[in-house]
Amino acid sequence: MLRLGRREFDAHEPVIMAIVNRTPDSFYDRGATFLDEPALARVEQAVAEGAAIIDVGGVKAGPGEEVSATEEARRTVGFVAEVRRRFPDVIISVDTWRASVGEAVCEAGADLLNDAWGGVDPGLAEVAARYRVGLVCTHAGGAEPRTRPHRVTYDDVMADILRVTVGLAERAVALGVPRESVMIDPGHDFGKNTRHSLEATRRLGEMVGTGWPVLVSLSNKDFVGETLDQPVKERLVGTLATTAVSAWLGAQVYRVHEVAETRQVLDMVASIAGHRPPAVARRGLA
């Protein structure tokens, strides 16, 4: 059972986490949801299309202009409070590696802290424990936040992913984070080249086998672009193919830009796997 905010999800129930960037320089939308009203409209659309989680980010993942903790909080805290007011049942996640920002957004109503940089600030898990909110434990290969990998190597990339993410998850539970609210994430592109991310996808079943719910953040990433030699806006097909494989292998939570398309892929895979009945079944029955 995965429990986040007011919601509970069984082991075979796929969950969509919709990305809402509060940055002026996002690699995907170039600041389309930086201002409050477009961002709130994005939340409304994502919820209508089937997202259970809204993931709010105040700092671009890649290199760029420095964003202080104060500025990150300014971009996220008030917005989290407004989303909480308008959408009381939605699960609010905040993508941050900073404990100080994590504390501020939890005070504002966040249900989940998405630590995409692998515990670089150990205090973030302590915040999650204190507020009894969820935590995403991600493998980033030891990279510093907002840096790109350079000739990174692993003897066995999945072995390293398992060592780091399971270790972070166990630490979080020991600190007091509810076990049913902890997820692990292989960290596609983070501290990895394209071949590493493809192998992590291919071996995702090993992460699922640990018993921790697995979150994947695949949407329009560079490993998809390099695999198919496609620019950011032409990566949807590759993203959805990777989503289908991840779903078949047992990942549960999907951090995405395109909610409606992802919902269809996840529903189709769940039906093929026998976990979901067809929405309509008339063929051959008339």
Q: Please give the chain's pLDDT, 286 residues, in tens.
A: 999 999 999 999 999 999 999 999 887 787 889 999 999 999 999 999 999 999 999 999 999 999 999 999 999 999 999 999 999 999 999 999 999 999 999 999 999 999 999 999 999 999 999 999 999 999 999 999 999 999 999 999 999 999 999 999 999 999 999 999 999 999 999 999 999 999 999 999 999 999 999 999 999 999 999 999 999 999 999 999 999 999 999 999 999 999 999 999 999 999 999 999 999 999 999 7
Helix, coil or strand: residue 15? strand
Catalytic residue chosen out of the listed positions 75, 98, 235, 255: 255
Is the torsion defined by CA of 238, 241, 245, 251 positive or negative? Answer: positive
- What was the pLDDT predicted at 223? 98
Give residue 27's pLDDT: 78
Say what the pTM is: 0.96
Rounded Cα distance, 127 and 69, in Å? 15
Rounded to 5°, angle at Cα 204 from 237 and 171: 125
In eight-state DSSP terms, residue 52 is S
CB 1, CB 9: distance < 8 Å: yes
Separation of alpha carbons 122 and 7, rounded Å: 27
* Catalytic residue flag (residue 255): yes
pLDDT at 8: 98
CA torsion 30-53-237-117 (nearest 10°) is 70
Looking at residue 30, what is its pLDDT? Answer: 74
Of 75, 98, 171, 221, catalytic: 221
Neighbours of 82 (CB within 10 A): 16
Active site residue 221: yes
